[in-house]
Structures are given as structure tokens and as C-alpha cells.
Structure 1
Amino acid sequence: MATVATPDTVQSEAYISTVALFLVFSTSPKEEKAYLRLPPNWRDLWAEFAELRKAKTDAVDRETVREFREMFREQITTEEEDGVVLKNGFRKRNKGTGTPEEVEVVKPKSNGFSMANPEQLRDLWQRKCSTASYQRMLISRMNLPMFRFRDAALSAISCNQVIIICGETGCGKSTQLPAFILEHELSQGRQCKVYCTEPRRISAISLAQRVSEELGEQKKDIGTDRSLVGYAIRLESYVTAQTRLVYATVGIVLRMLESAKGLDDITHLVLDEIHERSIDTDFLLIVLRSLMVQRPELKVVLMSATVDAQKFSRYLNNAPIVVVPGRTFPVQAKYLEDAIELTDHTPDGDHQSFTNEVEDHEDIVADGASSGIPNQLTSYSPKTRNTLSKYNEYQIDYSLIVKIIEKVAYAPLYSKYSRAVLIFLPGIAEIRQLNDMLHGHPSFSQGWLVYPLHSTIASEDQQQAFLVPPPGVRKIVIATNIAETGITIPDVTCVIDAGKHKEMRFDERRQLSRLVQSFISRANAKQRRGRAGRVQEGLCFHLFTKYRHDELMAEQQTPEMLRLSLQDLVMRVKTCKLGDIEQTLSDALDPPSSRNIRRAIDALVEVNALTPTEELTHLGQQLAKLPLDAHLGKLVLLASVFGCLDFALTTAAILSSKSPFVTPMGAKKQADTVRLGFKRGDSDLLTAYNAYCAWRRVCTTPGTSEAQFCRRSFLSPQNLSNIEDLKAQLLASLVDAGFVTLNNEERAALNQARYASRYRTFVPVPSHLAANNDNDLIANSVVAWSFYPKLLVRDGKGWCNVANNQSVSLHPTSVNKGVSSSRYLSFYHIMQSSTKFTNAHETSPCTDVALALLAGEADFRLYAGVLVIDGNRLRFAVSNWKTLVALKMMRTRLKETVSRAVRFAGKPLSGQQVKWMDLWRRVMEQEGRKAK
């Protein structure tokens, strides 16, 4: 263009505009209309441009093919070289942590079980089981009910590919059955690899440690070449080449399925606690049904304390069932009518009768307004029957709970049950309220310890709940359903069961999560009741009527596959190459509806993870390599392109684990005030990131106290450490996927952060990938692009979800609640509470320009001066047509840059793309100055 001259400035501008229009619209289906609207002289110029382009087409095509061949060849070479260097580097520094695949390829230091032939195996095992420590533990193992069924279980496994163990709580199935398999195979001189899946990390760790000890191994042996037992959970894998029995979370086994080796090395797979019907376990069963056909030598065992055994048996081709009795003491079961009769209780003003306004409850519609007074209650006093006729079972009656504890504590008939009382409540709000009541009650001011247990309470503050108090001191533990099977408080003698729990339910149609309070199932009630009979005869008060228990409660809880989002499941079907999505999921034990599957697929198509034909896109292929949902995966990928990767990795780690903020009992207002002190960029996500950065500065500054800072700032050091660990794993996943390239020094620093155990080291994100980390506008824009269409637009004094025009409120803890001046807010998820408020969580502001540049599919209507995104979902009026052309050009180049970065992971941007990125950065900086 340097050789073109025009007579005046007007002609110059017209020439440049024609060139710009040709570049923008020449490949558009609307080219002809644009061409015809030009004046004759500029129409001729357009025709000249078209002829020149046509003349160059063949040459360009040939050159493009050549470049793509070279690029493809170079990419494969680079990826292979990087893969070898990275894997060797990671594994060389491995100290027994990392993913199972990484650890297991490490060569053993000694020729042990992994290298032995059949004769050597028998000899090695004989020596191991002859040790004094093994024999000593064997005596205690023989007292477990499961031990008496050892031969029956092993015989069933030998004769069948899959069996079901239905064992009562306390029978020892989780520790003994996997050990039986291991011992039997080694004694026969057969190599084996046994994996036992657990629903929770804490279960996998504690069971592995117990089994290791029962095999006569030292406490510190687990995960070393001296041990046959290991465990694998997220962020931790104590598995070596010598390991023959692994306790792992279900998620770990599913990630193994996605790898090249799959489950090829596993000879026996034991699925524990299948009654919980987690979405991961049900999906694993789908895979196993086809895998067992391909691998007839694979042995599968399903285990649970409470399970509809016949249903699972039919699903698995009439698999045989082995029933094992438990080893628990009898527990007296009492119900609401017994509690009212015992305490002479009349509900106070805080406990509304059913005829008054009641809290929203999932079971109200199903049950009707009242279940009435059954004939069985005629043996109770008239006062009790009158109270029950007006009683609202759907609310938590805190005063009744307090009266029950008093009665158990001080009545001679029940005082023997008062040593340790476990109370089941549905959520943290209920735990707080009862905790405050007990701490302020004179009956429990001396000689009592009260411990709340909940996942949002810092773990370091909860350990005392598991310890037996000193003589003369009694304890009360208030917990949610995590105490049903996930943890064991050994000295519990009395259980008070409110009979309710809260569970997440996802509405695929409205794309929102609802935290629903509902009555538990009969299976849940049995588990809770059993907690009182571990050490002596126990007592349990269920705060619902026996009639409700026998007639209205469900036998089992609703499977997660029927109530949670299916998007991650859909991605997993494609990653594991299981075929048609709907057909695969229809093979589930309780298959989700076709409509919900279709909605999940459509949502993934909208974020460009799937094509309309349900194949993984280039973006979807990259997302499938990350242990994140589609939106968080997109966040870290885009952030690596736009230079705010440290913020994105930290945010993804926070949203995938627990919040760094904690709220101690009785300090909610103070904690909320302190949290607002970390406010940054009018964003909940940047606020959490700001708190994380402050913690990191404290930890790396000599002379400062991490404990004091966290206590003063209402932060959990354990949660922050977990966030840091997960952040390292996510960065390593990006490196393994080839999306991020590290030099030798950066690679060594990442290894140090992942595997060093003596001193804390932090994840080093390369500076060029975090150049825009301090630019709040860029960070918020990347969040908006990643989370789209999760977007709110201001609607009067409130907010409206652009995806479905639903009115939405901001969560009360949001930094934007009542103060945001932004027109648009992105959000991570929407949840409907039990009070029917639809609240958006993790909100961040975004500008019109940010949305115009990368959100959705855009239609630039040049002559109308309008930019429309996703068929009028968003609509921006642009008065200056030149600005509209500039936006289109910028958007086109940014899309090309992102597409190249995703398609050719790890390849540097071209010089032209670097210039466009620099121009984009300047535009965003200018937008930031306007906002101020």
C-alpha cells in the first residue's frame, strides 16, 4: 500500500476503507451485497482485488499444503522430544507421589514381588506371612466376621468373573476382602494387581494404612518398595512397582481408563461402598460391563453395607451374592413419637406447626401436608398424639434435640449412652445454630466438649472430635451425612438423627443447581443408627415418625446420575471412545433421561467442546486431557494464550476444591468483613486470588507467621496448601498435554513444587504466561469468555441470566452484592437454595468490548450499525461503522490466534498474531482507563 497515492485525504480514507471491507467481507456469504452498495469507482477497485486474489489462489494453496506438512512433521517431532524429557524429568524426582501411571514405571530398586517367577513368589510370600508382626495381626483379623467367610468369598471369585459382597457395617469387608485376594494369589505363585475403589480420599488412605499394618508392614513402609500396599488419590499416589494392592478413589481409576494402558495391569477390581451410587461409580460399572467381555480374566467384586443386591446382580448377569453379617452391638431405635413422649416436648414458637409457613422441602409435595396419626400411636399419651397432629416434621426442632441430650445425659436409665453423642443435621447453617445453642446452654457448660464437623470447617480444627475425651468429660459431635460412612468416630454411644440431608440436584433444562433438603432413605437411617453400636449397646433417636420410616421413605437414595449435571460424563464417554453418547449412558444401572443427555450435549456444543455431530473438537480434545470441567478447562487454556495463567490456575484449583476462606462458629460477620478487605477487581474470583497471593507472600517472607496471618484473615492454611498442590497438578497437566512448554529450569522448579516434601515450594508459572496477571480487566475478560454463556445482564435493580432470561440474585457473600456498577457479570454456577432464591456464585464484571471480541458467534450487521451475538442473545449498537469493522477484524484475528494455539499446542504464535495480541492488549488497557 506504500506505492498507492490519492489526490486528497478523503480519497485516501475511502481507499483504505474499501481495502478493509474487502479483507473482512471477501470470504463472507454477504460479499455480494457489500460489493453492490459501493460507488462505481470503488466497485471496480473491489473487482481488481478479487481478480488478484483468484490469481494467487493456486500458488497459496500449494504453499499452504507444504507449510502444513512441515508444521505437522515439526510438531510431532517436538511433542515426542518434549514427552520423553518431561516424563523422565518428572519420574527421576519422584518420591512416591504423583499419578499412578507415573509412579508405576519407576524401576524397583530390588528384585522383589514384581520380578519374581511363580516359585519365587510363593517363597517370598511364605517368608512374609511367617513374620511375627504378620502372625500377631492375623489373630485380631480372625475375630472379624469377614474372616469366617474367607473361603466362601475366594471360591466365589474363583468360579465367577463378578460377585457381590453384601456385608454389614463392622464385618471387615473393606480391609479383609482385598487382602484375601492378595494373599491367595501370592500363595499360589500368581502375579496380581488388586485395585479397591473408595468414594472418599480419607477412606482410601486409612484403609491402605490399616491393611499394610495387618500384613505385618511398618507404618512408614506404605508406598515404598518394602510394601505390597499403596494408595492413589488426587494429588497423592503412594504406588511403586512392588505394590500389589492399591486403594484408590474412583476418579483415579477413571483417569487410568483414559490412558493408553487403561486397566490392562489390573487383575482384580474391587468396588467398595457401591450403595452410595456416585456418578463416577455408576459410570465405571458401564465401562466394566463391556470391559469384562473383552477381558474374561479380569475379576470384579462389588461391596457395600447396604445395597439392593438383587438389582446389582441382575445388572451384572445374575452375579452371585455373598452375605456377611456384621459385628455391632444392638442399638435401640426410637422415633419422633418416642422422643416427644420421653421429653414431654411441646414445640416452641421457633418451631412452626405445619399449618404455618414452612421451609421449602423436597418431600412436601410427595408426602402431602401431613401423614396423619397412624393407629400405631394409640399407645402414646393424648398430649403426644396432639403434639404430633400439629408437628412439622420438615423443620429442624433444635429445642427437642437439646431436651433429648439432657435426658440422655442425666436420666439414670439413659446416662450410660451419654459418653459420646453424634447428631446428624443436614447442613452447615443447622450445625452452626445447634452449636451456638449448646455452647450457651447451662446444662453443657462444664464437663462437655462440642465439636462441629463439616467439609467447610478447617480440618485442623476438627481432629479433636475423633479422640476419646478424658475421664469425666463427655462429648457431642454435630455432623452431616459425612459421618454415615465416610468417617468413623469410634466411641459414639448415642445418635440423634434429624432424618434429613442436603443434596445437589442439577436442572439440565434451566442449567442451575439446587441444594435440596429432603428426608434420608431407610438405608441412610440404618447406617446412622449403626454408628451407635460400635463399642457397646447403643441408643438412636430418629426425629421422624416410625410411620414415615416404614411407609414414606425411599429404600435407597437417588443415584447421582439422575440428579447431577451430565456434561462431565458426556466428555468422559467421548474420551474413553465408548461410542454413541446416549446409547452408552442408556446402559447405566439407572439411566438418565434422553432429554437430559441431549441438553448436556447441547451445552458442550455451545462451549465448542463438541461438534454438532457429537465429536470432540480440537478444544474438546485439549479439555479432555485436563482434570477439570469444560468451563474451568477453557479458562486455563485461554489464560495461557492471553497471559494470566497464574490467576487462572489458582482459580481453577479453588473452584475444584475448597474455598480458602473459613467461617468459625460465631464469627460470621467478622469473617465476612475481613473477606471484603481482599476485594479486587469487583470480582469474587479475583478476591479469592488476592487472598491466596497474600498468603503466598507471607509464606515466602522471612520473619512472618503463616498461622497468625491465616487466623487473622479467616483463611485455612490446609485448604490453601491443597489449592497449591492442585495448581501444580494442573500446570503439569498442561505441560503433559503439550499446551505449555517449560525450559529445563522451569521444569525442575515444577518438579520441586510437586514432589518436595521437606520444605514448601510454590508453583512457578513462566513469566511470559502471566504477563497480564495484574490486569484485572484482562483477567475478568478471560473469565467471561471461558464461562460464556454463563452471563448476567442488569435488569432494573436486579439481574437476568442471558441464557434463559431467568431472574437471578447475587449470593449474599458476593463482593458485587448491591454495589456492582457493571452492566454484565459472568458467573460460574447458579444455585437455587431451599428458600427458593436463585443465586449466582463466583461473579466477575465484564465489558461490552470484551464480549464483542470473543464471546459466542457474532453477526456484524454493518449497515444497521449493530453487532449481534448468538441470535440476539446479546446486541450492541455501534454508531461508527469504522469501529464495527475494526471490531470484526480484531475478533477474527483473536479467534484465529486461539484456534491456532489450541490446534497446534505448544507452537509459538506467528509474528502477525503477536502484533494483533499487542494491539488487543492496548485496547483493553484503554478500556481499563475509561472504566476508572
Structure 2
Amino acid sequence: MSKLPREKGSILYCTTGILLQRMQNDPYLSKISHIILDEIHERDLDSEFLIIILKDLLKQRQDLKVILMSATLNAEQFSQYFGNCPMLNIPGFTFPVKEYLLEDVLEMIRYEPKFNRKNSQENMTPWKRHTKQGKKLMEKERERQEAMGCYLRTLEGSYSSQTIKTLWDIDEETIDLNLIFSLLRYICIKQGEGAVLVFLPGWEHISKLHKIINDDSMFNSSRYLIIPLHSLMPTVNQKAVFNRPPPGVRKIILATNIAETRVQEGICYHLYSKLTESQLQNYQLPEILRTRLETLCLRIKILKLGKIEVFLNKAMQPPDPKALELSINLLEKLNALDEKENLTPLGFHLAQLPLDPHTGKMILMGAIFSCLDPILTVAASLSFKDAFVIPLGKEEQADQKRKQIARNSKSDHLMLVQAFQWLGSCYEERLRSALLLGKFFITYHATAMADVLDNKRVWIILGAAPFRKKPTTSCTSVMMLANLKKQFTQYLHELQFLHCDDPKHKDFNRNSENQMLLKAVICAGLYPNVAKLQWRHNRNPHKSPKIPKVYTEDDGKVVLHPKSVNYMEFNFHSQWLVYYQKLRSSKVFLHDTTNVQPFSLLFFGGRITFGKDLSCSTVFVDKHIAFHCPPRVAHLVKELREELDKLLQHKANHPGVTCWDPSTKEGALLKAIVELITSEDPLQSVEHTRQDDDYDDDED
């Protein structure tokens, strides 16, 4: 509930983002006398951005008071940044926590690892030892051995020889689930009552450890309550962690950093050594040093704060110039900034949207090409999460169901559209029925979606319990995604690209069933995140086809994440993939991909140029994506692309609902482009040979 401010003074509670939006209309915050920023130790992008602005604003407004608050903060650093401003310490109460490090744990449980650093070095193939990555790993290992050798000598006499040997062998960078399980057994047998919270990196580790625990006869009893906790899990399951178990029952929670602790005295076991601890930073790196900066760059431009690099150099810890250059180059490729770093009309709209530039551009193109509703589903899923609930122990079955739902589209993003369409309609229908009956609640099983699409059977459980006001399990995700779609539609309506805020209006969805066009619009939003497939020659015709390798321009060889519907796929429609998320762990993984046709890249990719030979023309997209095509097709593409760029520029300057009347220039042009995108592609990708193909032909 919100109330208008009183004449004599009011307190406004708002997010940092809301305050930044307010500054677009009131850059001096003329009606505000005090600003209190809490939890500033988190160093997120919005807070970091606001702090830079406030430091400059304080020079203009001598009457403005700024208070920075945090329970865990490097206060001296902030004080120095604000001209040695005064610091106030308010003492609080903390619970005593006894801490143990890896060497202490190994001494307690006498654990011997099955996999260690020595194994990993011996298993490294000879060719890989001579690659740049292999040489870096070898050098890093030599440095570790030198430091660890010195450290272990200080432990002699305090720890057993077995512990010292294990500490030398163990790989601290690998998540050893057997070590965690052994420690759990030790705690449950040797320690007194109390819940156990295990922090793990992600769902895969949670799932595997959950299985290891449940397979053990000791934990497979009523004396233990094992609760996995992850953002992918239904909200109802997440709330179960707060319930106090019956007397004599120990609660064990397997969680990511979604969980927090320190509510009573206890014991903390760190599974890293004191040597590793000494190398850790005391405070978390600010987000400005570890994430992409495109959204921040757009905010700097729309608030007219000058050159991006000059502004960000005022930060307490300025970002790496190379990272900043990458973000600015990306915005230029998205046509959000021009070569002089000015906002383009498209960039102005993207800066107005509370979305990252990729999803922002995607929904704008979805509105222009009248395929809005499914594109909003993709954008909402990328901004939040999909509606899937992953059942523990049935991950492989869930992966197969996702492939079935994708219906050979070769697209994680269209799979989300198919899933949401069914979940959304089913949810609305069952909700109406439940409200009429007044005595049922609904849960959905994500692994059953494909059964519905195959016209088999629906796994919808109607429980004989009073209907709850709040839907349960994946219903919550469906509602949140639907709300996000509604918000996105309202943004587009405010920007005048739509004449109402109904995402399902027929005027906005005349092309929503055109799968090829949907892929092209997804490509428009995700470009330049492009990967190329390269098929490997199979010398034996009787063997199954080999899975193609995947390459990106920046990273070279990458791999598709096992959760992608394109994982282990070999039969693609073209050589090109676009993706949204790329993460580096043991390898560089593309988490979500869509297989797109060449015309999608030619019309919605970067700058195109042309080359010629005797029989055909070569068309280049940003110089590194190349296609062969007949000269007449190259000429047609050139003309249509030039006209499309002009039209998009006009639409950005003069927003409005798209006119599809073929007698108008706009309607005729867009109709011709849609027909080309939907047609068979007469283009062939130009092959490029990779130097490492001969070495890792059998490596996956």
C-alpha cells in the first residue's frame, strides 16, 4: 500500500532502481532532503551506479544528507571515497560460531579422496598439455605445489601424516560429494542435536548429494529430514526449511546461497585449507567488476552523464577497460549506440525498459513483427526462470520431456513457449474449476507436459484439501511469468508500440504461429551471441553420426549444456545457433540455444558486406559470418536489408502498431521479409577449418 507524501515531510521506501528512474525527471532530487542506502556491502550495479551519482550530486547540493548502512562493510573504503566522511558504529549481537578448516575436517574423519590432483594431471592428454590452456594449468599446479609444500611443513607435529598427505593430494577446486557425505555422517554420529546446512554451487550437486544420502541406510530413516533448497524448486517446498522438525529428528538442508544462517550458536566446517583461506578476498568483488555492463552504459547515456568510461572511472573500483569496451561494442552491434557513443532511437527505448538490452530489443521486435505473446514468454523466462519444477532423481526423464516439448524446433526458447502455452491455459482452466468447487488445490508436474502434447494422459493432481489463496508449486512460476509478460506489455504500450496492454490481442499476434519468424526475432534480440556448428567427418558409414562441434568467435570451442534440448543433437536445420547465457566452469557452456537460418542473421544480425567470385556472391555479417548465394539473392538481400534498417529507424522515432496492409510500403516490406525468412534458404555457410580439429576429434 502506498500513500502520497505529506506536506511537512514523508519517508519514501523504494528500490535503488526506482530512485534512479526518478532521477531521469529530477536529476538533482530537488524534493529529497535525506537518502539512506542500506545493505551497500552487496555492491550491486544499481547501488554502485547511484553512489557515483550521489558523490557528484553532493557537490551541487550542500543541503543533501546521505547515510550509507551495512552490517558487514569495509567502512574505511567508503569513508575515503566520500572525502573521509564520519563513521558511526552501532554494536550488535552475534552468535558464537566455532570454525574448522579442511585440515581439521580431514583429521577428524580420516578421509582419503578417490580423485586428486595427481590423477587429473596424469589423465591430461599429451596434446592438451601443449595447448595454451594446458600450459596454464600446468603452471598453476606448479605454483600451488610450491606454496602447499611450504604450508604443509608448518603443520608437521600438529596434524597426522595421513592428513598432511591427503591435503597435498586433494583437489580443493573440485566439489567432492563423498567428502561432504563423510562429514555429514561424522556430524550426525559424533555431534549433538541441531540442523545441518550444506552450501553447494548448484542444482546438479544438490541432486547428486541428495541421491547419495538417500541411498545410505543410516539416513533412510525417520530420524532424518533431508530438504533440498534451490530457486528452481516450488515456493511451497522452499518454505519447508523453516518448519521445526519433531523431537529426535535432524533436519539436513542442501542449498545454494539462496539460504542464509547465523540465528544461533553453532559450528561451521569450511572445506578449504587455511592456505586457500589466506588467498581469499575479505570482501566480495563489486558487481561492476564481474558482470556485463550494457544496462549500466545505457543508464549513463539516458541520464546524460557524459562519456561512459569517464563516468565509470569515478567509481570506487572502476571496471576493467577491456570489459567496458566489450559492452560498448555490443551496444553498437545492437544498434543502441552509434559510433560516437550517442543513444540511437532504439537505444533510447532500450534504456527506458527495465530489461537487459537483449530481451528489450527482442520484445520490441516481437511487437513490430506482430508475434508478441510467444516472444514475451521467451523474454519473461530469460528475465526470471522457466516454469519447470525439476523432480529430484528424475533429471534425465525431465530432460527427455523437454526435448519432446520442443517438437524438433531445435530451440530451448521455443520449448519454453510450448510449455508455457500449455501450463498457462491448463492453469487458468483448473483455477476456474477449483474456485467453483471451492475445495481443491492444484499442483503440476513438469515432467508430464509432453504427455499432454502427445495426447496421452494429464498428470494433474487434485488434492482433497481446502483451496489455498496462493497457487502451489509450478503454478506460482506460471503466475509470475504471466505477470512479467503483462508488465512488459504495459512498457510497450507506454512507449506507444501497442494500442493496448493486452499481450494476446489479435493485432499483436498475427504471426505468432510462424516458428521461423519467432526464431528470427529471437535472433534479433540475442545477436551477436552466435555459435557455429561444425560437423565431423565419420569415416565409418555404419556408425552413428557424430555430434557436431560448437564454436564461438570469442571462445573458440564451446559445449552445449546438458539441460539444453540441443545437447547431444546431431541433426540441425542449419549451422547457426544463437544463445542468451554463456558460463565458464570446466568448459565454456552455452545454456540455452536456438537453431536459426541464415536469413535470420542477414536481416537481424550486424553490418552486412558483399564479395564476389565467378559463380556466386559471398555475403558477410560482421565480417566473420559468411554465406554463398546466387547474385540475384545477394542483390535482393542487400535492398531489403537497407529498407528494413530504414523502417526500424522510423519505427523507433515514430512508435506505433505495425500496419500489415500490403498496399502500404511498411506492410509490403515486412510481408516480403517474413516470406523470405519462412522460405527455404538458398544460402550456404562458408566453412572454416579449425586448427584443433585433428587433435580432439573424439573428445566430447
Q: TM-score range by the shorter chain?
A: 0.7 to 0.9
The answer (yes or no) to whether the contact 1:273–1:305 under 8 Å persists in 2 is yes
Q: 2:116 — aligned with what?
A: 352
Local SS of the residue matching 2:576: strand
Considering fraction of residues, name the structure with more helix: 1
Of 818, 826, 835 in structure 1, the residue corresponding to residue 577 of structure 2 is: 826
Tell whether the 8 Å contact from 1:435 to 1:452 is kept in structure 2 after alignment. Answer: yes
Q: Note the C-alpha offset of 1:541.
A: 1.7
RMSD (Å) for aligned C-alpha atoms: 3.1
Change (3 A) 1:820 1:643: farther
- Equivalent position of 1:835 in the other structure: 586
- Of 431-440 and 254-263, deviating more is 254-263
Shift of 1:930: 13
Q: Secondary structure at the match of 1:678?
A: helix
- In structure 2, C-alpha distance between the alignment counterparts of 1:576 and 1:856, rounded to whole Å: 27
Where does residue 67 of structure 2 map in the other structure?
A: 301
CA distance in structure 1 between the partners assigned to 2:610 and 2:681 by the alignment? 24
**Which whole-Å CA distance do the structure 2 matches of 1:460 and 1:712 have between them?**
20
Q: 1:282 aligns with which of 42, 45, 48?
A: 48
Partner of residue 739, structure 1:
497
Query: By how many angstroms is 1:353 displaced?
Result: 4.9
Matches within 5 A, 1:754-793: 764-793=503-532
Q: Does 1:898 align with 2:648?
A: yes
| Secondary structure in 2 matching 1:707 | strand
- C-alpha distance in 1 between matches for 2:624 and 2:389: 38
Q: In structure 2, what residue type is equivalent to 1:594?
A: P
After alignment, is 386-395 or 562-571 more displaced?
A: 386-395
For the 8 Å contact 2:599–2:681, the answer to whether it is kept is: no
Per the TM alignment, residue 671 of structure 1 is displaced from its structure 2 partner at its CA by: 0.9
Identity rate, percent: 31
> How far off is 1:433 after superposition?
2.1
Do the aligned partners of 2:202 and 2:256 also contact (CA within 8 Å) in 1? yes
Per-residue deviation, 1:584: 0.4
Q: Is the CA contact 2:369–2:658 (under 8 Å) kept in the aligned structure 1?
A: no
Give 3-state SS (helix, strand or coil) of 1:624's partner: helix
Counterpart residue number, 2:287? 560
Q: Please say if residues 457 and 663 of structure 1, whose CA atoms lie closer than 8 Å, have aligned partners that are also in contact.
A: yes
Letter matched to residue 819 of structure 1:
F
Deviation at 1:784, TM superposition (A): 1.8
Q: What's the TM-score once normalised by structure 2's chain length?
A: 0.81
Partners of 2:27 and 2:644 in 1: how far apart?
38
* 844-853 or 643-652, larger mean C-alpha shift: 844-853
- SS at 2:326 equivalent: helix
Aligned amino acid, residue 352 of structure 1: N
Distance change in 2, residues 1:639/1:453 (3 Å): same
CA displacement 1:165-215 (0-9 Å, x = unmatched): xxxxxxxxxxxxxxxxxxxxxxxxxx132xxxxxxxxxxxxxxxxxxxxxx
- Matched residue, 2:690: none
Q: Which amino acid aligns with 1:653?
A: A
SS in 2 for 1:368: helix
Residue 722 of structure 1 aligns to which amino acid in structure 2? M
How far has the Cα of 1:919 moved from its partner? Answer: 3.0
**Which of structures 1 and 2 has the bigger CA Rg?**
1
SS state of the match for residue 400, structure 1?
A: helix
Pair 1:650–1:380, CA change in 2 (3 A): same
Q: What amino acid is aligned across from residue 49 of structure 2 in structure 1?
A: F
1:192 corresponds in structure 2 to 10
Aligned with 1:793: secondary structure?
Answer: strand
With over 3 angstroms needed to count, the CA separation of the structure-2 counterparts of 1:774 and 1:438, relative to structure 1, is same
Structure-to-structure mapping, 1:563-582, within 5 angstroms:
563-582=290-309
Counterpart position of 1:383: 162
- Aligned partner letter, 1:686: L
Say whether 1:398 aligns with 2:177: yes
Indicate which of 485, 505, 511 corresponds to 1:727. 485
- Note the 1:517-536 alignment, pairs <5 A: 531=262, 534-535=263-264
Task: Give 1:700's aligned amino acid.
Answer: E
Structure 2 unmatched ranges of 5 or more: 125-132, 435-440, 451-472, 537-547, 685-700
Structure 1 position 929, deviation (Å): 13
Structure 1 residues 855 and 543: CA distance shift in structure 2, 3 A: closer
Q: Does the 8 Å contact 1:867/1:878 carry over to 2?
A: yes
The answer on 1:548 being equivalent to 2:548 is no
Q: CA deviation at 1:772?
A: 0.6
Give the conservation status (yes or no) of the 8 Å contact 2:384–2:481: yes
Q: For the structure 1 residues 421 and 866, does the alpha-carbon distance in structure 2 shift closer, same or farther, using more than 3 Å as the test? A: same
1:595 shift after superposition? 2.6
User: Which residue of the partner structure matches residue 463 of structure 1?
Assistant: 239
- 1:371 and 2:148 are equivalent in the alignment: yes
User: Structure 1 residue 545: deviation in Å?
Assistant: 2.5
SS in structure 2 of the partner of residue 324 of structure 1:
coil
CA gap of 1:375–1:928, structure 2 versus 1, over 3 A, is closer
Equivalent residue, structure 2, for 1:712: 448
CA contact (8 A) 1:653 1:727 kept: yes
Q: What is residue 270 of structure 1 aligned with on the other side?
A: 36
- Matched ranges for 1:443-522 at <5 A: 443-446=218-221, 447-484=223-260, 488=261
2:69 is paired with a residue whose SS is strand
Deviation at 1:346, TM superposition (A): 2.6
Aligned to 1:548, the other structure's residue is in SS state helix
Q: Distance in 2 between matches of 1:738 and 1:401?
A: 55
Indicate conservation of the 8 Å contact 2:55/2:82, yes or no. yes
Superposition pairs of residues 674-693 of structure 1, within 5 angstroms: 674-680=401-407, 681-693=409-421
| Residue equivalent to 2:665 | 912
* Residues 557-636 of structure 1: pairs in structure 2 closer than 5 A: 557-636=284-363
Aligned mates of 1:775, 1:930 — CA distance in 2: 21
Residue matched to 1:90: none
The separation in 2 between residues aligned to 1:779 and 1:825, in whole angstroms, is 15
Cα 1:461–1:318, aligned 2, differ >3 Å: closer, same or farther?
same
**Rounded Cα–Cα distance in structure 2 between residues aligned with 1:259 and 1:924:** 41
Does structure 1 conserve the Cα–Cα contact (< 8 Å) formed by 2:48 and 2:315? Answer: yes
The aligned counterpart of 1:927 is 680
Task: Name the count of aligned residue pairs.
Answer: 621
The 8 Å contact of residues 523 and 596 in structure 2, kept in 1 or not, is answered as yes
1:263 CA drift (Å): 4.3
Cα offset for 1:730? 0.8
How far did 1:783 drift? 1.7
The whole-number CA distance in structure 1 between the counterparts of 2:141 and 2:20 is 37
Q: Residue 36 of structure 2: SS of its match in structure 1?
A: strand
Q: 1:849 to 1:382 in 2, by over 3 A?
A: closer
The answer on whether the counterparts of 1:854 and 1:895 sit within 8 Å (CA) in structure 2 is: no
Separation of aligned partners in 2, 1:653 and 1:366:
46
Cα displacement string for residues 263-305 of structure 1 (whole angstroms, at most 9, x for unaligned residues): 4444332222222222222122111111222333332222222
Number of the residue aligned with 1:759: none
Scaled by the length of structure 1, the TM-score of the pair is: 0.62
Structure 1 stretches lacking a partner, 5+ long:
1-95, 97-102, 109-113, 118-190, 194-243, 489-530, 743-749, 751-762
Distance 1:708 1:596 in 2: 42
Q: What does the per-residue CA deviation read over 1:709-744, in whole Å, with 9 as the maximum and x for residues that have no partner?
A: 5473498322222111111111111111122222xx
